[in-house]
Amino acid sequence: MRVGIAGYGLAGRYFHAPLLKGCGYEVVAIQTSNAERAGHAVADFPDVNVVATIEELVAHKLDLVVVASANLVHAEHAFAAINAGIPVVVDKPMGRTFAETAEIISAGERAGVPVSTFFNRRWDSDALTIKKVLASGVLGTIHRMDSRFERFRPELNKASWRENMSAADGGGQLLDLQPHLISTAIDWFGKAELVTSTVRTIRGGADDDAVLVLKHDSGVLSILSASVVVGAPGPRIRILGSKGALVINDLDPQEALLKAGKIPMGGKWDVPTKSKTFIHRGDSVEEIVGEDGNYATFYTLVAGAIAGTNPWPISNDDALLVAQIIDQARNNALHV
């Protein structure tokens, strides 16, 4: 399938482009107005058409547009693809607000053009392992889950729009990492509503410390932390059940592999992509074999959805629920 990528920064170059290539898509065109990133695009795809505007991108005969640009222009780029009749995947968050997300989805429905979002963390090793463990019942009745993306970056990166732009323009951790935490939580434990939240700015730029507490319809309480000012990060995930607890300490290795230039050719990794997983029962700790993560599954399923052989990998209902919770978290945040 012929694909165009809007934006060629971190998301476009190090996530979407290698996954698309690995899944057999032909990257026909890349949109960027940045000269350095245009050079990266040509270095990575010597035959690619590099264009400066989204209008030029969608003028190519494309089967898919991937919006990997800054959050500020996600809606503008998605609308351009929809108006051109091209299915579109928008990197998370699809929109900066619930209203913007709903507007993108509604535009696709009116035009009869499929629209989806990139919640790739559902194909992390930890996410796939957790679904397997939950299905086994080995933890008993689940009552609480802690999920984190915590880092220690005490100095503000003044070159990063994510760290400096206002929430209205798409900056901050609530829009950057919380969508992953929320989307995986609702994938594991079902629909949820926000109980409470704190959204703070510690370093003087965009919000950089966001903690959300969700209550799922299933009864599980999810505590979600996205922060870049944590000198002692907690475990990546801890799930508490009546018969034991699951603990995963480390990040899935796929992001590091992609940034190192590795590509999952044929839609599969040729190296292990497991996170170490442990079942705790008090003083007893048992390591279990985790599942291999594979972000490429997302684009394999997208190709199938476009061909009509399977559903889209992420439902727009989930995208809307994530956007709704983010809006509520920002509006109702406790300022402590």
User: ∠146-277-119 over CA atoms, to 5°?
Assistant: 60
- Bridge partners, 115 (sequence order): 88
Residue 105 lies in a domain: yes
pLDDT in tens, 173-182: 999 999 999 9
Amino acid at position 10, single letter: L
Amino acid at position 151, single letter: R
pLDDT band at 201 (very low <50, low <70, confident <90, very high): very high
Residue 299 lies in a domain: no
Question: How far is C-alpha 330 from the chain's CA centre?
Answer: 19
Go through the chain and tell me how many residues it has. 336
Q: What is the CATH number of the domain that holds 66?
A: 3.40.50.720
Q: Output the pTM of the full model.
A: 0.96
The answer to whether residues 76 and 129 belong to one domain is no
- CB-CB neighbours of 303 under 10 Å: 19
The answer to whether residues 62 and 129 belong to one domain is no
Contacts of 38 (CB under 8 A, 6+ apart): 8, 30, 32, 50
SS3 153: coil
The 3-state DSSP composition of the chain as helix, strand, coil percent (nearest 5) reads 40, 25, 35
The answer to whether residues 153 and 27 belong to one domain is no
Q: What is the CATH number of the domain that holds 258?
A: 3.30.360.10
The answer to whether residues 91 and 186 belong to one domain is no
First to last CA, the chain: 50
The answer to whether residues 41 and 180 belong to one domain is no
Residue closest to 125 by CA, chosen among 253, 15, 226, 259: 253
pLDDT in tens, 66-125: 999 999 999 999 999 999 999 999 999 999 999 999 999 999 999 999 999 999 999 999
Range of the domain at 250: 121-293+311-332
The answer to whether residues 129 and 109 belong to one domain is no
Among the candidates 65, 89, 119, a domain finishes at: 119
Paired tokens of 184: 């995986």
The upper half-sphere exposure of residue 169, i.e. CA atoms within 13 Å in the direction of its Cβ, equals 11
The answer to whether residues 206 and 288 belong to one domain is yes
Residue 199 lies in a domain: yes
Segment 45-58 shows an average pLDDT of 97
pLDDT band at 334 (very low <50, low <70, confident <90, very high): low
Residue 196 lies in a domain: yes
Residue closest to 31 by CA, chosen among 46, 21, 3: 3
